[in-house]
Structures are given as C-alpha cells and as structure tokens.
C-alpha cells in the first residue's frame, strides 16, 4: 500500500475532526453567550418592571398626601397663625399672656391710687374687664384674696381708668348676694367715712366688690402684648 496515501488519509481525517471540534466549541460558546444575554435581558426587564411599579406607588402616595394637605390647608393655616402670634407677641417677664394682652398679678399690696400709679410706671394700667371670658380668666388666676381692678366711683358714677363708665362698656360683674338675703355689691358699707369707692375682684366671690380706696390690696396690671 502506498504510504503517502495512508498518511494522507490520516491527515485528512484529523483535519476534519479538528474542524468538527472547532465548530462544536464555537457553537457552545455562542449558545452560552446567547443564554447570558437572555438572562441579562430578562433581569433588565424585571428591573424596569419593579422600578415602574415602585414609581407608580410613590406617585399615588404623593398624590394622596397632596390631597390630604389640601384638605388640611385651612387648619394648617390656623396653626401657623397661632404659632406666629405666640412667637411674635411677647409679655414682660413675670406677666401672663392672654388674648393679645399681658397681665401682672402683684404679690405686693398697695392702696388703690398707689396700685394705679404703679401700673402706669410699668407701662400699663389697672386692669379693665371687657367681657365674661376675661372676667373668668382673671378670677381663675387669683388665690382667694381681693385684687384691685381699674374701676372706681367718680362723683357717684363707676368709671374705669380710661374714663369709660359701666354703661359705656355694658360689662358688669358685681357680686350678687341676693341668694344670701344680703345687699348686692356695691354695698358702700361706709367703713370709710368717704365710702367704698374702689373695686376689687376675687376668686372667692367670682365678682367685683367695693372697698375703701385706702385699703391695701394686691392688684392686677394690664398692658398690650408687644408684637
């Protein structure tokens, strides 16, 4: 047998085998690459889907929050106004704030004129009671002792320190003793020969009583809160 022919056949077979092996390797590599690309593609699609879902939920939640805020806006505005008022309106140290005014409940005692003048030196005046709510507020701060208020009898007519009469203000809280079968305030008991011409307020009665202006009592000063 021709040796060249034998070796030629062997080389040819080896070449074909090598070609086949290379084709299979290339096919496997291509398949792996396609599978990898497919996995990456699916992962990206899932990621996009999850992102879209989260975005939708966030937008929906934000919309609900916006709706809630819109509904609560009037209340938020009121709260903001109250906060601004509290932070902007102030009282001197030791004074109590109430409805835009400042009140000083003294610990010292003076006669009515001395109390009036002392309040003026502090930048205010003896308190003037304007309504039922203020009357309740003042009485609730007291500790059972009478306090001078800015009301006194001027020539037979009770007037406030701003010169307004009780008929001008329409506010009257004299202590009523009718249930005790006693005389209502002001009773002008004449303990002072000049009469009881100055008014106090106390927690005990919850109303006003007339006293001699010479008596020493604690007192209430009033001024506007600063803005």
Provide the CB-side half-sphere exposure for 207 (13 A, CA).
Answer: 13
pTM over 0.95: no
Residue owning tokens 């037979």: 156
Task: Please report the pLDDT score of residue 76 as a whole number.
Answer: 41
> Does an H or E element contain 157, and which?
strand 157-160
Task: Please report the pLDDT score of residue 29 as a whole number.
Answer: 67
Task: Please report the pLDDT score of residue 18 as a whole number.
Answer: 46
The residue among 113, 117, 95 whose CA lies nearest residue 216 is 113
Q: 170 by DSSP, 3-state: which?
A: coil
What's the helix, strand, coil split of the chain in %, to 5? Answer: 50, 20, 30
Q: 173 by DSSP, 3-state: which?
A: coil
Task: Please report the pLDDT score of residue 14 as a whole number.
Answer: 47
Task: Please report the pLDDT score of residue 87 as a whole number.
Answer: 45
Tens digit of pLDDT at every position of the chain (227 positions): 444 444 444 444 444 444 545 556 666 667 777 787 777 766 776 665 655 455 445 434 433 433 333 334 443 443 344 434 444 569 999 999 999 999 999 999 999 999 999 999 999 999 999 999 999 999 999 888 899 999 999 988 999 999 999 999 999 999 886 666 677 778 777 777 788 999 999 877 679 999 999 999 999 999 999 87
């Amino acid at each position: 047998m021709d040796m060249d022919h034998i070796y030629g056949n062997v080389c040819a077979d080896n070449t074909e085998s090598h070609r086949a092996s290379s084709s299979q390797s290339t096919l496997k590599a291509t398949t792996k690459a396609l599978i990898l690309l497919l996995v990456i593609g699916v992962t990206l699609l899932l990621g996009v889907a999850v992102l879209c879902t989260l975005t939708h939920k966030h937008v929906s939640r934000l919309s609900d929050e916006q709706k809630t805020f819109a509904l609560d806006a009037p209340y938020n505005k009121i709260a903001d106004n109250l906060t601004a008022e509290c932070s902007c309106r102030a009282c001197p140290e030791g004074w109590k704030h109430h409805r835009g005014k400042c009140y000083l409940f003294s610990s010292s005692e003076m006669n009515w004129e001395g109390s009036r003048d002392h309040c003026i030196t502090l930048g205010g005046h003896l308190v003037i009671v304007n309504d039922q709510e203020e009357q309740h507020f003042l009485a609730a701060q007291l500790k059972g002792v009478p306090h001078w208020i800015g009301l006194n009898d001027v020539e037979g007519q009770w007037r406030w320190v701003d010169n307004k009469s009780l008929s001008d203000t329409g506010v009257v809280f004299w202590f009523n003793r009718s249930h005790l079968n006693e005389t209502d305030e002001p009773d002008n008991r004449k303990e002072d020969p000049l009469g009881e011409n100055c008014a106090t307020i106390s927690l005990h009665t919850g109303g006003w009583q007339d006293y001699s202006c010479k008596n020493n009592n604690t007192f209430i000063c009033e001024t506007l809160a600063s803005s």
